[in-house]
Amino acid sequence: MNALKIVRRVALLLMLIAPAAAWSATVVEVWKSPTCGCCEAWIAHLQKAGFEVKTHDVADPGVVRAVRGVPSALASCHTAMVGGYVIEGHVPAGDIERLLKERPRITGLAVPGMPSAAPGMDVTTGSRAPYATLAIDPDGRTHVFAEHAAGQ
Ligand SMILES: [Cu+2]
């Protein structure tokens, strides 16, 4: 890793850590690569559900994912923060609403990979294949937060 890359990573870390306490619960901050189309479709899904979304285009969303405590096995195309929780991938707005209402002691939610029927993917695939939203426990383990059966 060269010096410029290190400087960039440190700057990103500071940007991520500093303003966390001031974030409103209903503003979703999203970090994604500038070319991610399905990320945009997921953002549109959140906005339709009433969330305010602040988008950050970054060269390497993987850095954000690592900093926010998302195990790499759960990786998807974008990482978001809302109400102090991390949201990895195409998590349905309804799951985020439930998360903010119940406020469980977890790190956040993840829909690993890019399931074809998850919000933002479904618009282009037309898929209704079942998938699950996982809760990320503070120790990095996961448990099922919500099952999304076909058509949900
Ligand atoms: Cu995606």
Q: Digits of tens for pLDDT over the chain (152 positions)?
A: 677 777 777 766 666 655 544 444 489 999 999 999 999 999 999 999 999 999 999 999 999 999 999 999 999 999 999 999 999 999 999 999 999 999 999 999 999 999 999 999 999 999 999 999 999 999 999 999 999 987 55
CA of 38 to the centre of ligand 1 (A): 4
- CA atoms lying within 13 Å on the CB side of residue 64: 23
CATH 3.40.30.10 fits 3-148, yes or no: yes
Exposure pattern of 135-146 as b/e (b: 16+ CB <10 Å)?
Answer: bbeeeeebeebb
Instruction: For residues 111 and 109, give the distance between their C-alpha atoms in angstroms, rounded to a whole number.
Output: 7
- Kind of pairing, strands 108-111 and 85-89? parallel
53 C-alpha to ligand 1 centroid (Å): 16
State how far the Cα of 39 lies from the Cα of 31, in Å rounded to an integer. Answer: 9
Task: Provide the pLDDT for residue 15.
Answer: 65
Cα 61 to ligand 1 centre (Å): 12
The alpha carbon of 88 and the centre of ligand 1 are apart by a number of angstroms equal to 10
Residue 58 CA to ligand 1 center (angstroms) comes to 15
Distance 69 CA to ligand 1 centre (A): 19
Residues shown for the chain: 152
pLDDT of the residue at 133: 98
User: Which helix or strand (DSSP H or E) is residue 11 part of?
Assistant: helix 3-17
Q: State the distance from the centre of ligand 1 to the C-alpha of 55, rounded, in angstroms.
A: 14
Non-local CB neighbours of 134 within 8 Å, separated by 6+ positions: 74, 109, 110, 111, 112, 142, 143, 144, 145
